[in-house]
Amino acid sequence: MKVFWTVLALFVAFLLQSALTHVVPRQARMVDLFVLVLVYCGLVGGETHAMLAGAAGGWVQDVQFGGGVMGLSGLTKVLVGFGVGLSGSRFQLTEPAARVLVLFAATLLDTLIFERLASAFDVRVQTLSLGGLFTRAALNAALGGVLFFYVDRHLARRRRS
Protein backbone atom coordinates (compact mmCIF):
# COMPACT_ATOMS: atom_id res chain seq x y z
CA MET A 1 0.00 0.00 0.00
CA LYS A 2 2.90 2.30 0.83
CA VAL A 3 4.34 1.71 -2.63
CA PHE A 4 1.02 2.49 -4.27
CA TRP A 5 0.65 5.83 -2.47
CA THR A 6 4.25 6.79 -3.17
CA VAL A 7 3.88 6.03 -6.88
CA LEU A 8 0.62 7.93 -6.96
CA ALA A 9 2.19 10.93 -5.21
CA LEU A 10 5.09 10.92 -7.68
CA PHE A 11 2.70 10.69 -10.59
CA VAL A 12 0.64 13.59 -9.30
CA ALA A 13 3.86 15.57 -8.76
CA PHE A 14 4.84 14.84 -12.36
CA LEU A 15 1.47 15.96 -13.71
CA LEU A 16 1.45 19.12 -11.63
CA GLN A 17 5.02 19.99 -12.53
CA SER A 18 4.20 19.50 -16.22
CA ALA A 19 1.11 21.67 -15.89
CA LEU A 20 3.08 24.38 -14.11
CA THR A 21 5.70 24.48 -16.85
CA HIS A 22 2.93 25.28 -19.31
CA VAL A 23 1.13 27.86 -17.24
CA VAL A 24 4.02 29.65 -15.50
CA PRO A 25 7.24 28.39 -17.09
CA ARG A 26 9.58 30.70 -15.24
CA GLN A 27 8.06 30.13 -11.83
CA ALA A 28 7.77 26.38 -12.40
CA ARG A 29 11.56 26.14 -12.38
CA MET A 30 11.56 27.43 -8.83
CA VAL A 31 9.33 24.66 -7.49
CA ASP A 32 10.38 21.03 -7.14
CA LEU A 33 7.38 18.90 -6.30
CA PHE A 34 9.45 15.71 -6.30
CA VAL A 35 11.41 17.03 -3.33
CA LEU A 36 8.15 17.43 -1.44
CA VAL A 37 7.26 13.77 -2.04
CA LEU A 38 10.74 12.69 -1.04
CA VAL A 39 10.73 14.70 2.19
CA TYR A 40 7.31 13.42 3.20
CA CYS A 41 8.39 9.83 2.57
CA GLY A 42 11.55 10.45 4.59
CA LEU A 43 9.70 11.91 7.54
CA VAL A 44 7.01 9.25 7.57
CA GLY A 45 8.73 6.14 6.30
CA GLY A 46 12.43 6.59 7.06
CA GLU A 47 15.50 6.73 4.89
CA THR A 48 14.84 3.63 2.74
CA HIS A 49 11.45 4.89 1.72
CA ALA A 50 12.83 8.37 1.06
CA MET A 51 15.74 7.13 -0.99
CA LEU A 52 13.53 4.93 -3.19
CA ALA A 53 11.02 7.70 -3.66
CA GLY A 54 13.86 10.12 -4.36
CA ALA A 55 15.43 7.83 -6.91
CA ALA A 56 12.14 7.32 -8.71
CA GLY A 57 11.27 11.00 -8.67
CA GLY A 58 14.76 11.99 -9.72
CA TRP A 59 14.67 9.69 -12.69
CA VAL A 60 11.33 11.01 -13.81
CA GLN A 61 12.81 14.48 -13.56
CA ASP A 62 15.92 13.43 -15.47
CA VAL A 63 13.96 11.83 -18.28
CA GLN A 64 11.24 14.37 -18.66
CA PHE A 65 12.73 17.64 -17.52
CA GLY A 66 16.48 17.09 -17.41
CA GLY A 67 19.42 17.46 -19.73
CA GLY A 68 21.69 15.09 -21.53
CA VAL A 69 22.99 13.06 -18.59
CA MET A 70 20.41 10.80 -16.99
CA GLY A 71 20.60 10.07 -13.30
CA LEU A 72 21.94 13.34 -11.96
CA SER A 73 18.66 14.23 -10.34
CA GLY A 74 18.17 10.61 -9.31
CA LEU A 75 21.46 10.55 -7.47
CA THR A 76 20.89 13.93 -5.92
CA LYS A 77 17.54 12.91 -4.58
CA VAL A 78 18.82 9.61 -3.24
CA LEU A 79 21.36 11.57 -1.19
CA VAL A 80 18.82 14.09 -0.03
CA GLY A 81 16.35 11.31 0.76
CA PHE A 82 18.90 9.56 2.90
CA GLY A 83 19.61 12.73 4.82
CA VAL A 84 15.95 13.49 5.39
CA GLY A 85 15.15 9.92 6.38
CA LEU A 86 18.02 9.82 8.82
CA SER A 87 17.00 13.13 10.35
CA GLY A 88 13.42 11.90 10.62
CA SER A 89 14.45 8.82 12.53
CA ARG A 90 16.86 10.67 14.85
CA PHE A 91 14.94 13.83 15.63
CA GLN A 92 11.38 14.68 16.46
CA LEU A 93 10.24 16.28 13.21
CA THR A 94 6.49 16.02 13.48
CA GLU A 95 5.82 19.68 14.21
CA PRO A 96 4.90 21.83 11.18
CA ALA A 97 7.71 24.30 11.81
CA ALA A 98 10.28 21.52 11.95
CA ARG A 99 8.94 20.05 8.72
CA VAL A 100 9.10 23.41 6.96
CA LEU A 101 12.69 23.72 8.10
CA VAL A 102 13.47 20.22 6.78
CA LEU A 103 11.83 21.11 3.46
CA PHE A 104 13.85 24.29 3.22
CA ALA A 105 17.10 22.48 3.98
CA ALA A 106 16.26 19.58 1.65
CA THR A 107 15.55 21.89 -1.29
CA LEU A 108 18.68 23.86 -0.62
CA LEU A 109 20.71 20.66 -0.46
CA ASP A 110 19.04 19.28 -3.58
CA THR A 111 20.00 22.36 -5.58
CA LEU A 112 23.55 22.55 -4.26
CA ILE A 113 24.23 18.84 -4.64
CA PHE A 114 22.83 18.84 -8.17
CA GLU A 115 24.97 21.78 -9.24
CA ARG A 116 28.08 20.23 -7.67
CA LEU A 117 27.38 16.86 -9.27
CA ALA A 118 26.79 18.48 -12.65
CA SER A 119 30.06 20.30 -12.31
CA ALA A 120 31.83 17.10 -11.28
CA PHE A 121 30.44 15.23 -14.29
CA ASP A 122 31.22 18.16 -16.58
CA VAL A 123 27.60 18.82 -17.41
CA ARG A 124 27.07 22.46 -18.20
CA VAL A 125 24.03 23.71 -16.34
CA GLN A 126 22.40 27.01 -15.67
CA THR A 127 23.13 27.91 -12.07
CA LEU A 128 20.95 29.75 -9.61
CA SER A 129 22.00 32.96 -7.92
CA LEU A 130 22.17 33.01 -4.13
CA GLY A 131 18.83 34.80 -4.07
CA GLY A 132 17.35 32.27 -6.45
CA LEU A 133 18.68 29.43 -4.34
CA PHE A 134 16.99 30.70 -1.18
CA THR A 135 13.83 31.71 -3.02
CA ARG A 136 13.51 28.20 -4.41
CA ALA A 137 14.02 26.68 -0.98
CA ALA A 138 11.56 29.07 0.65
CA LEU A 139 8.91 28.48 -2.03
CA ASN A 140 9.22 24.74 -1.72
CA ALA A 141 9.15 24.91 2.08
CA ALA A 142 6.02 27.06 2.10
CA LEU A 143 4.22 24.91 -0.45
CA GLY A 144 5.28 21.69 1.26
CA GLY A 145 4.28 22.98 4.68
CA VAL A 146 0.75 23.65 3.48
CA LEU A 147 0.51 20.35 1.59
CA PHE A 148 1.83 18.30 4.50
CA PHE A 149 -0.65 19.94 6.84
CA TYR A 150 -3.58 18.95 4.64
CA VAL A 151 -2.29 15.46 3.96
CA ASP A 152 -1.77 14.84 7.69
CA ARG A 153 -5.20 16.18 8.54
CA HIS A 154 -6.80 14.01 5.89
CA LEU A 155 -4.96 10.92 7.09
CA ALA A 156 -5.88 11.63 10.73
CA ARG A 157 -9.55 11.91 9.78
CA ARG A 158 -9.39 8.64 7.90
CA ARG A 159 -7.78 6.90 10.85
CA ARG A 160 -10.44 8.21 13.23
CA SER A 161 -13.29 7.11 10.97
Partner 1 sequence: MAIGRTTPGVARVIEGRKSRFLLGALVLAHLVVISRQVEGEGGVSLLQRGLWSVLIPPQRLVASAIHGVEGVWTGYVGLRGARDENRRLQEQVRSLETQLEATKQQIGEAARLREILELRPILPFPTMTAQVIAREGVPWFRNITVDKGLKDGVALNAPVLGVGGVMGRVVEVGSSAAKVQLLLDRDCGVGVRIERTRTTAVVAGQVAFSDSGTSELLMKYVPVLADVVVGDVVVTSGLDQIYPKGLVVGRVRSVGKGSGLFKEVSVQPSANFEKIEEVMVASAPPRPAVLTESVR
CB 102 within 8 A of CB 144: no
Please give the angle made by the CA atoms of 154, 48 and 52, to the nearest 5 degrees.
Answer: 80
Q: Which C-beta is closer to partner 1: that of 19 or that of 155?
A: 19
44-55: b (≥16 Cβ within 10 Å) or e: bbbbebbbbbbb
Q: Closest separation between CB of residue 13 and partner 1, Å? A: 10
Q: Which C-beta is closer to partner 1: that of 47 or that of 110?
A: 110
What does the binding site for partner 1 look like in residue numbers (CB under 8 A)? Answer: 17-18, 20-22, 25-26, 28-32, 61, 64-68, 73, 111, 114-115, 118, 123-129, 131-132, 135-136
Longest dimension (CA), the chain: 54
Q: Closest separation between CB of residue 58 and partner 1, Å? A: 11
Q: Which C-beta is closer to partner 1: that of 116 or that of 153?
A: 116
Q: Closest separation between CB of residue 96 and partner 1, Å? A: 26
Q: Which C-beta is closer to partner 1: that of 93 or that of 138?
A: 138
- The DSSP annotation for 42-76 comes to HHHHHHHHHHHHHHHHHHHHHHHH--SSTTHHHHH
Q: Closest separation between CB of residue 128 and partner 1, Å? A: 5
